[in-house]
Structure 1
Amino acid sequence: MFSCKEQAAKKDITSENKAIITHTNKEPIETISKVALDEVQKLKSLDGLADTTFIRLADYSNDFAYDMRYATTNNFLKAKVYDCAECYTRVKTAKALIKANNEFLKKGYKIKFFDCYRPNSVQYKMWAIVPNPQYVANPVKGSIHNKGGAVDITLVDLKGNEVDMGTDFDFFGKKAYHDNTNLPKEILANRVLLKETMEAYGFWSIRTEWWHYNLSAASNEKIANFKWDCTD
């Protein structure tokens, strides 16, 4: 026999979305569908936010992948320049990225980030290590990364496997150039997919780096030194 409370709870469970299942040891375990639903519910909305506000992208979409290289020593600087790995952008950039990513998802891919917004203080750290404008923007003038409008990205499939772009991130050489057509057809097709899709949603690329994209609408923003908190 069920108590009144148990009978009411039973009525709330539908065949389409059961909240829990029970093991033989009687411990309640959340189903995958419930976990996925909770993840969606935790996401914040960009509605009502000013386009210039800085936001943590993972709070507004769980459809991206991340490998924030400058929070590690696995980068061309061979130095960790971020205290912790986070991807922040301005709201206008986030909106464009989410739209572009939705287009990639339709084709079986999603965006993976290597770098996003970069505080100007970090730009100074990078410049101290490699004071060469060919590789690092002069922090006095700043980078669009410092404005919250640039991202360094690649594509991964829905299992998280990186698409072959011909070189690793931050490979500085002709093999990484957009106009280098002396590459296998598959690599050229992958770069075209990334470039044409990003450009369709308001981004522009630079000739020498297949991974770097700037949002045109953010190019006139001020250089920022907003810093996020590291919780770990």
Structure 2
Amino acid sequence: MKRGSLFIFFALVFNIAFAQHYEYIDSSKVMGPKSYAARVKQQPELRLVEIKKYIPAIVLDIRYATTNNFMHRKMYEQGRAFARLPVVLALKEMEEDLKNRGLGLKIYDAYRPYSVTVKFYKETPDTNFVADPRKGSKHNRGCAIDLSLIDLKTGKELEMPTGFDSFSRKAAANYPDLPAQQLANRELLKSIMQAHGFKVIATEWWHYDFNGWAKFPLLDIPFETI
């Protein structure tokens, strides 16, 4: 076999093995609809809830239900947002606090089925921006929110360092070389989120994990079955 053909052969074998490894992760680590239903029957306070039902005024821009995302195709069948009940209650308190400042929240993404995380990683295996399926994402646990701030009078987003899902260095939560207004808006979001029990991740100014996420298992439940 020629060197070029040999290289292609091993590349194909590696890709097949790689895909299978991530598609067939230990099922005990990822909770499906049946096991999830049994768990929340025992612990209803840990259930996924629809954010809009608890916070009607919150603005949704669920990018993965559109083609306006880094995958350039729809990844969700529905443009809805879910999170664990304690996460949503914290967001509700925060939304009420923001009203006093004339501000509100816009959500880009919340709970994400595990199978979608696998698809992300297959196309963009950069763990600075895409979760490693061996660990899963806090989104898969219903404990991460991608969001920004809006002006309630205009409905417009406050100016931030980058748009959502940017793979730029400027997307980092502490990137310093930015216009003063972008820095101020980013830090305002950070301080408000931290005050309500969330922590920003280092590489994405818009991504916040809820404190205590580790007690929630990974989920692979389609929106339409929640």
TM range (shorter): 0.7 to 0.9
Partner of 1:151: 145
Distance 2:198 2:106 in 1: 16
> Is the CA contact 2:129–2:203 (under 8 Å) kept in the aligned structure 1?
no
1:68 to 54, 62, 70: 62
1:184 aligns with 2:206: no
1:89 to 83, 89, 106: 83
2:51 to 54, 57, 68: 57
Partner of 1:175: 170
* Structure with bigger gyration radius: 1
Partner of 2:215: 220
> Which structure has more helix as a fraction of its residues?
2
1:1-232 alignment runs, 5 A limit? 50-158=44-152, 159-229=154-224
**Which structure 2 residue ranges, 5 or more long, are not aligned?**
1-42
- CA deviation after TM superposition for structure 1 residue 114, in Å: 0.5
Alignment-mate amino acid for residue 185 of structure 2:
N
Alignment-mate amino acid for residue 194 of structure 1:
L
Alignment-mate amino acid for residue 89 of structure 1:
A
> Is the CA contact 2:201–2:207 (under 8 Å) kept in the aligned structure 1?
yes
Distance 2:127 2:169 in 1: 17
Alignment-mate amino acid for residue 104 of structure 2:
K
> Is the CA contact 2:112–2:139 (under 8 Å) kept in the aligned structure 1?
yes
- CA deviation after TM superposition for structure 1 residue 211, in Å: 0.3
- CA deviation after TM superposition for structure 1 residue 134, in Å: 2.3
Distance 1:142 1:121 in 2: 10
In percent, how many aligned pairs have the same letter? 37
TM-score, normalised with respect to structure 1? 0.74
- CA deviation after TM superposition for structure 1 residue 203, in Å: 0.2
Q: How many residues align?
A: 182
SS at match of 1:85: coil
> Is the CA contact 2:151–2:157 (under 8 Å) kept in the aligned structure 1?
yes
> Is the CA contact 2:128–2:203 (under 8 Å) kept in the aligned structure 1?
no
- CA deviation after TM superposition for structure 1 residue 185, in Å: 1.2
**Which structure 1 residue ranges, 5 or more long, are not aligned?**
1-48
TM-score, normalised with respect to structure 2? 0.76
Structure with greater contact order relative to length (CA < 8 Å, sep ≥ 6): 2
> Is the CA contact 1:93–1:218 (under 8 Å) kept in the aligned structure 2?
no
SS at match of 2:206: strand
Alignment-mate amino acid for residue 100 of structure 2:
K
- CA deviation after TM superposition for structure 1 residue 136, in Å: 1.2
Distance 1:154 1:101 in 2: 12
